[in-house]
Chain A
Amino acid sequence: MTPELAGLLGFLALFVLLAVRMPIGLAMMTVGAAGIAVLNSPNAALNNLGSFAFSYSAVFTLSVIPLFVLMGAFASVSGMGAGMYRTAYSFVGHRRGGLAAATIIACAGFAALSGSSIAAAATMGKVSLPEMDRYNYSPRLATGSIAAGGTLGILIPPSTVLIVYALLTEQSVGRLFLAGFLPGLLLTVLFVATVFIVAIMDPNAGPPGERVPMGERIKTLFGSGALIFVVLIVIGGIYAGVFTVTEAAAVGAGLTSLHALWSRRLTIKKFFDALLDTIKTTAMVFFILIGAHFFAPFLALTRIPVNLADWIGDLAIPAIAILMVIILVYIILGTFMEGFAMMVLTVPIVLPIIMTLGYDPIWFGIIMVVVLEMGLISPPVGLNVFVVKGVAPKVPLGEIFWGILPFWLAMGVCVTLLVAFPEIALFLPNTMLGR
């Protein structure tokens, strides 16, 4: 059997296993080990099975993942998200659609503490949905803004997805975090603009809330002081060279847990719940990563990624057209596949193509994250939509998806802008860390 044929059969087997609901990590492990057994030797496959699980979990750089997840979990408990929402509300809540805009802004602020979009959507949903209900917001705008705002969690640093992308592509986590900052800001502005456009087109969708006096607004701004302080220490510490990324994550987890203790929200039960949530997320991520480490050597043995990149490089098609096709495929894949797994599965194939076309891998990582975000709110399996459904059980799923559509289009605009102006992503890392 030629390596290419083995590779194609491997992909076919992988898709079949995924379609019949085998966990993605396990499917990659099964196909990867079988492929190595065929293309190399059964002994090599057995050796990998014996050593990979330990070798790829006992990795220093990966410790940043559970530590940042823990920071987000304690931030959820500590009420920092609610504080951020109050601040945003006091500044924009009196405008038409202001409460939904405040939700987006608070999500962006919370995203700076949490690398998970699910945590952001769940935390902000619990805080902002009752308020929007009180002011008779249309369920579409209310739920759509929460689901979309939550996705900012994986773009604005720290981001679990960007960390894994960095590890898969051997790029610097610090550069990727910096690269995510301006696109995160851009997407926040686009989301807020979307809210206001929806509110103008349908005045009943987002009635204005109460106007908060300036003195009170400043007070609420101080109320968000803890969140701003932690973000400054964590992100500032990384770029000032005070901490490594892992250290910043540990300090962030320490500070958010102290704040949760100080605000008397951290009971023993909540402490263990936060730990349990973190361990579950960590295990989920690592199982996919361990599976990917079986699949990657198999893929390398098939030589498909290299041959595909060479073939595409020789095509007389403009690079931008190929990039558009790749983005389109990602958008389609994102509608039925979990974003994280999709990234782990496709990066080994797509990245050589991107590099051959002469694009920057850091910039592509940011585009990929925005496209993954689109998947997070796309039917039929948009994860954030189900999180919002959990917070707002009375709103039918169809209504939520309709509410999301304008935000999904805003993400499309964001991707287009990033393709047209790569500097949006690359300006900060190139300026602060050099090319």
Chain B
Amino acid sequence: MLDAFERRLDQVLRLLAHAGGLVLAGLAVLVIYEICARYFFGRPFRGGFEMTELAMSVIVACGLPYTAIQRGHVSVDIFSKFLDRPSMRWLNFGIHALGAIVLGTLAYQSFGYAMKSYGYGDVSNMMRIPKPPFQFAVAISAGLFTIVLILDALKALRPTTEIREDAQ
């Protein structure tokens, strides 16, 4: 059941990462448009700075959980042989659970931060773009990352399952 859930989650997170990729492609187009506006149309586009900043938060938010489920976040794996022993499964569970607690707290606090920001109508300086949707995106991303870590913690407890080596 865990494996089926992980496969489905992987698909969803991959879609999310693709969406982030499209935002990045759009960002590249926006920056190129800015250059053209400055040199060829004589009308510099002033909102680019803010749009880039907000787009960056979406790009990172879309990528974090996918990279997590793909074991793409960098970790030191010199003791892998030792840690992959079945006797170490409680330690592995503990590490993933600790990570889930920290990231879960981050997700909860980020959500609160976004709610507060929504409460007083936080917007960007020049284009008046509302910031809360982007802050919520980061909070949701951290929440999804937490789910991946919970999944890893549960998988670590399975006695017969080998823990996948970290990608990096």
Bound CA span A288–B63, Å? 13
Bound CA span A383–B27, Å? 30
A53 touches B110 (CB 8 A): yes
Interface members, chain A 328-356 (any B CB < 8 Å) = 336-338, 340-341
Q: Which residues in A have their C-beta under 8 angstroms from that of B68?
A: 23
Chain A interface category by residue count: 35 or more
Q: Indicate if A29 sits at the interface (CB-CB under 8 A).
A: yes
Query: Which secondary structure characterizes the binding site on chain B?
Result: helix
Interface members, chain B 47-90 (any A CB < 8 Å) = 49, 52-57, 59-64, 66-68, 70, 72-80, 83
Q: Which residues in A have their C-beta under 8 angstroms from that of B76?
A: 18-19, 21, 24, 336-338, 381
Number of A-B contacts (CB under 8 A): 195
Bound CA span A275–B26, Å? 11
Q: Indicate if B12 sits at the interface (CB-CB under 8 A).
A: no
Question: Scoring B residues 77 to 106 as 1 if CB is less than 8 Å from chain A, else 0, what string do you get?
Answer: 111100100000001100100110011011
B98 touches A63 (CB 8 A): no
Q: Which residues in B have their C-beta under 8 angstroms from that of A54?
A: 57, 110, 113-114, 134-135, 138
Known: A21-B79, A50-B109. A66 touches B54 (CB 8 A): no
Q: Indicate if A60 sits at the interface (CB-CB under 8 A).
A: yes
Q: Indicate if B142 sits at the interface (CB-CB under 8 A).
A: yes
Taking the closest CB of chain A, its distance from the CB of B35, in whole angstroms, is 5
Question: Scoring B residues 138 to 155 as 1 if CB is less than 8 Å from chain A, else 0, what string do you get?
Answer: 110110000000000000
Taking the closest CB of chain B, its distance from the CB of A288, in whole angstroms, is 6
B59 touches A280 (CB 8 A): no
A29 touches B75 (CB 8 A): no
A275 touches B25 (CB 8 A): yes
A278 touches B103 (CB 8 A): no
Q: Which residues in A have their C-beta under 8 angstroms from that of B139?
A: 53
B74 touches A340 (CB 8 A): yes
Taking the closest CB of chain B, its distance from the CB of A38, in whole angstroms, is 15
B99 touches A23 (CB 8 A): yes
B168 touches A338 (CB 8 A): yes
Taking the closest CB of chain A, its distance from the CB of B96, in whole angstroms, is 9
A-B contacts, 17 listed (Cβ < 8 Å): A20-B95, A21-B76, A23-B75, A50-B112, A53-B138, A57-B59, A66-B24, A66-B59, A67-B31, A247-B34, A251-B32, A272-B18, A280-B17, A282-B59, A287-B67, A288-B74, A381-B77
- Name A residues whose Cβ lies closer than 8 Å to a Cβ of B: 17-26, 29-30, 33, 46-47, 49-51, 53-54, 57-60, 62-63, 66-67, 70, 243, 246-247, 250-251, 253-254, 272, 275-276, 278-280, 282-284, 286-288, 336-338, 340-341, 380-381, 383
